Amino acid sequence: ASPSAVSEPESLKSLVEAGKLPPMAERLPKTPRVIALTGPETAPGRYGGTIRRLISGPREIRYMPIDSYSRLIGYDRSFNLVPDILAAFEVQDERVFTFHLREGHRWSDGNPLTPEDFRYVWEDMFHDKKLYKGGIPNLFRIRDKEPRFEVIDALTVRYSWEDPNPDFLAELASPVATRLMMPSAYLKQFHRKYQSKERLEQLAKENGVEDWVALHQKMSRTVRPENPELPTLDAWMPRTSPPAQQFVFERNPFYHRVDENGLQLPYIDRVVLNVGSGDLVPAKTGTGESDLQTTNLDFADYTFLKSAEKRYPIKVDLWKRTQGSRVALIPNLNCKDLIWRQALWDVRVRRALSIAVNRDEINKAVFFGLAQPSANAVLPESPLFREQYRQAWAGFDPDEANRLLDEAGLARESRYGMRHLSDGRPCNIIIETTGEAGFESDVLELISDHWRRIGIRVFVHVSHRELFRRRIVNGETVMAVWWGLDNGVPTADMSPRELAPTADDQLQWPLWGLHHLSGGGDGRPAELPEAQKLLDLYHEWRRAAALAEREGVWHEMLSLFTDQVFTIGLVNGTLQPIVHSKRLRNVPEKGLYGFDPTSYLGVYMPDTFWYEGEA
């Protein structure tokens, strides 16, 4: 059907009639992105309705751009990279990236999206010494060299490096992508280059900030869409400025996607986020106060929510979480305590600790037996999955564990006595936890039981998240509870950086990660050869141009990582309740739930969700 024949969304009709908004045909790009909805689970829908969601704090409005997931390039459900905002893109040797814009694509304020918006970011923002004090973001530097940015024509831009940058596209497709373009028409009024000093000062004052830098930062924030004025390319645009208890998002009339019938997406007119205590979210969801709820729900709430299905028009689905391990014990290989460090560096100890855990019991007691006992590794949904990784040192064998520990020199007087470290101290492990997830304390309780059998006593220490991480980085803790790999469903194209010491937020080797991150300036080099090997492999992956080569590196890393038990994964594939209104269509019954790479709901495209029946 031709776009003109398709009716306007009800909510925009009056505006269009009043001439405040051009008709749909003019709002859409010449070639909008057409989303086919004729799958077995999906169907093209119709306009209208409001989705109410619950968030536990104003910060959580940041889920909106993640869920909305309009990116230059994004993943589809099978994790292939597809152009989204872009009409097309070309990659040359992983070095030269050419992006073609859609003709007639507009920001939500009606201004066209042009290469000028890319240039503005590149030149006026990244290269402004005030705005970016430390220079352009790290992502753009390969071997300390910047790419060349070119505007090829009115619809084309290009970034070219001398060395391959295989992470680049994945970064653009990530849930919180670095923005290469910004609505320059709007932002220029806040930039010193385009605005008079006096006016800037006045604007800064009006907005309660100190100078134009803060002003520009404040007005251009996209991570938390707090500025309703800031034009966006997302499906819904923010309509509320904080502080508020309710955040309203309305459809972006210039959004670039249409369904196969030519209806401009999103179907849903409004998304309303209500702020409330996180503890109350399950209860409120259970009384039908949320039309689409994914966050702040825990697996333990499932039974309750399911029982609420009878009373309220809601539907509860269970999706699979993508983490490599829902709960994992992370030994701190950089801990200050020399004796413990030595012990933990001994792979036998790590392995022993791992096989002393009865994962089946944990699965049964805490996850209804619905999760999968596993080492911290990739899920079967990933093309990289191998049974061998899952089972690496993930069986339950206390005898073997005891033997390994004996061998490693953690002596034990009697069969039931407690083990001692080499300096004679008893083997008491203080496990650090944030205590945020309720089941963590249950899991820890089971683990203290399991480990008592191998002569190790467990103490639990709870600290707030900031403190938690700080203590680990400072090496004050020996072990922590966290989750495993963020991305448990990688493809060979995705970066294996999580497996190697590449970042300082990796709890098993924060210092080694920092060393790499800071280019050797800070932290310490990976002191274990195996860890160093992982790092080398990672670099190899970055250099690899061919897919098969990358796959090879991935497998090598996975097998080394799991065999060395750098992290003690417990269970993965746990389930996440997803609650949505019964009338809300196109929400898949089964799905993968996680930040990376699915962007939570992002790859399932909430803009295609629609209400069946009367609104």
Residues 281-340 close enough to bind Ni ion by CB under 5 A: 317
Least gap, CB of 139 to other proteins (angstroms): 10
244 binds other proteins (CB under 8 A): yes
When CB distances are held under 5 to 8 angstroms depending on the partner's kind, the choice from Ni ion, other proteins, none that residue 587 binds is Ni ion
Burial of 518 (0-12, 13-18, 19+ CB in 10 A): exposed
Size of the site for Ni ion (CB under 5 A): 3
Q: State whether residue 168 is helix, strand or coil.
A: helix
Residues 73, 587, 603, 605: which binds Ni ion (CB under 5 A)?
587
Least gap, CB of 51 to other proteins (angstroms): 13
CB-nearer residue toward other proteins: 259 or 432:
432
202 binds other proteins (CB under 8 A): no
Count of all residues that appear for the chain in the document: 615
505 binds Ni ion (CB under 5 A): no
Least gap, CB of 512 to other proteins (angstroms): 18
Size of the site for other proteins (CB under 8 A): 84
Side-chain half-sphere exposure of 9, counting CA atoms within 13 A: 27
302 binds other proteins (CB under 8 A): yes
Residues 245, 413, 425, 590: which binds other proteins (CB under 8 A)?
245
- Tell me the window of 208-216, 285-293, 400-408, 581-589 that interacts with Ni ion (CB under 5 A): 581-589
Residues 15, 467, 547, 615: which binds other proteins (CB under 8 A)?
467
Helices and strands in the chain: count of H runs, count of E runs: 20, 24
Which residues, 6+ apart, have CB-to-CB distance to 40 below 8 Å? none
CA–CA distances in Å: residue 332 to residues 177, 509, 557, 606: 30, 6, 20, 39
Identity of residue 602: G
CB neighbours of residue 14 within 10 Å: 11
Which residues inside 73-112 make contact with other proteins, applying CB under 8 A? none
Residues 15, 589, 590, 615: which binds Ni ion (CB under 5 A)?
589
- Tell me the window of 13-21, 195-203, 273-281, 394-402 that interacts with other proteins (CB under 8 A): 273-281
When CB distances are held under 5 to 8 angstroms depending on the partner's kind, the choice from Ni ion, other proteins, none that residue 589 binds is Ni ion
Give the strand pairing for 86-92 and 457-462: unpaired
DSSP codes of every residue in 445-499: HHHHHHHHTTT-EEEEEE--HHHHHHHHHTT--SEEEE---S-SS--TTS--GGG
Specify whether the CB–CB gap between 64 and 294 falls below 8 A. Answer: no
CA dihedral 549, 551, 553, 555 (to 10 degrees): -150
When CB distances are held under 5 to 8 angstroms depending on the partner's kind, the choice from Ni ion, other proteins, none that residue 136 binds is none
Specify whether the CB–CB gap between 412 and 461 falls below 8 A. Answer: no
Q: State whether residue 151 is helix, strand or coil.
A: strand
CB-nearer residue toward other proteins: 151 or 430:
430
CB-nearer residue toward Ni ion: 67 or 317:
317
Which residues inside 167-186 make contact with other proteins, applying CB under 8 A? 175-176
d(CA 383, CA 400): 32
Element (H, E) at 89: strand 86-92
Specify whether the CB–CB gap between 70 and 235 falls below 8 A. Answer: yes
Least gap, CB of 270 to Ni ion (angstroms): 21
Which residues inside 396-455 make contact with other proteins, applying CB under 8 A? 430, 432, 434-435, 438, 441-442, 445-446, 448-449
When CB distances are held under 5 to 8 angstroms depending on the partner's kind, the choice from other proteins, Ni ion, none that residue 16 binds is none
Which residues inside 306-335 make contact with other proteins, applying CB under 8 A? 306-307
CB neighbours of residue 80 within 10 Å: 11
- Tell me the window of 56-64, 78-86, 528-536, 545-553 that interacts with other proteins (CB under 8 A): 56-64
When CB distances are held under 5 to 8 angstroms depending on the partner's kind, the choice from Ni ion, other proteins, none that residue 58 binds is other proteins
CB-nearer residue toward other proteins: 101 or 172:
172
191 binds other proteins (CB under 8 A): no
Query: Is the N-terminal amide bond of 529 cis, ω within 30° of 0?
Result: no
State the sign of the Cα–Cα–Cα–Cα dihedral 409, 413, 419, 423.
negative
Residue 148, phi then psi, degrees to nearest 5: -100, 135
List of residues contacting Ni ion (CB under 5 A): 317, 587, 589
